[in-house]
Amino acid sequence: MRIVASISLLCLGLAGCVTVSTEPQPILRIPVTGQLSNGVAAAGQATAFNNGRGEFWVKIPGGARCAGDYAVRDPNPTMVVPVMCDNGRKGQAVIARRTDLVTGTAIVRLNDGTRGQFVFGNLTFEQAFGSGRARTF
């Protein structure tokens, strides 16, 4: 009986030290790759969180990092989301997701006229846009 009581006290003591995180936890990370209309490559990541929020970022080597947020649970396959860059540029991304909602394309246009095409998930750039430079859109 003393052993059971000791174990019970130990468990209660340990439970008092356990904290539950209220911070959103990432549940899925997806690679993002693509290029600007001038052929410059860029890559990044999209992350889905357990609270239904998603965020993505793309970095141009030696250049700007652009990012945005989206609703992971949005059932629509296509969405338009704002994009903000660390160099002050901003714009929109038109995101088209396939039925699995984790694979698709994004077309971005920034306020300075910069354009880009990107793929995410299990899709290659060539599958989505063909080979060669990014198309004008």
* Residue 9 C-alpha from the chain's centroid: 44
Q: For residue 16, is it within any domain? A: no
Domain assignment present for residue 113? The answer is yes
Domain assignment present for residue 105? The answer is yes
Residue 20 lies inside a defined structural domain of this protein: no
Distance CA 43, CA 52 (A): 23
Looking at this protein, which amino acid is placed at residue 12? L
Task: Domain of residue 47: give its range.
Answer: 26-129
Q: What residues are paired with 105 via a beta bridge?
A: 96, 119
117: domain CATH number? 2.40.128
Domain tally, the chain: 1
Backbone angles phi, psi at 104, to 5 degrees: 170, -160
94 pLDDT above the threshold of 70: yes
**What's the pLDDT at 110?**
96
> Full-prediction pTM beyond 0.75?
yes
Does a structural domain hold residue 134? Answer: no
Overall average pLDDT of the 15-21 stretch = 57
**Nearest by Cα to 96 from 76, 114, 126:** 76
Q: What is the pLDDT of residues 55-93, one digit of tens each?
A: 999 999 999 999 999 999 999 999 999 999 999 999 999
133: confidence class by pLDDT, cuts 50, 70, 90: low
Does any domain span residue 51? Answer: yes
Examine residue 42 and state whether it is found in any structural domain, yes or no. yes
